Amino acid sequence: MAKGQGTYLQVGAFANPANVKQLQSKLGELSIPVFTEPLDTPDGRKTRVRAGPFGGREAAERALDKMKRIGVGGVVAAKQ
């Protein structure tokens, strides 16, 4: 599935690049695909962290369950 389509987990948005790298590393250890996107906010530029794409909501929720075990949350979202 091409990035840009499918079901994703919105994990967070961070101003500190070290937080982004740490989160990417944690998710990588769980074999969860992760990518970042720049995000302009009223508080300045941040980096959005997303996981996916997943084959559907059920697969995204399984990944979210894995993430919760290491203290990382997220929200299931479709992206086109």
**DSSP string spanning 2-66?**
-TTSEEEEEEEEES-HHHHHHHHHHHHHTT--EEEEEEEETTEEEEEEEEEEESSHHHHHHHHHH
pLDDT in tens, 21-47: 999 999 999 999 999 999 999 999 999
Query: Rounded CA gap, 15 and 13, in Å?
Result: 7
Q: How confident is the model at residue 79 (pLDDT cuts 50, 70, 90)?
A: low
Q: What average pLDDT does range 55-80 have in this prediction?
A: 92
**Per-residue model confidence as pLDDT tens digits over 6-21:** 899 999 999 999 999 9
Q: pTM of the prediction?
A: 0.85
Closest CA to 61 of 4, 3, 9, 5: 9
- Residue 1's pLDDT is 41
pLDDT for res 2: 44
| Cross-strand partners of 13 | 48
- In this prediction, residues 65-78 reach a mean pLDDT of 94
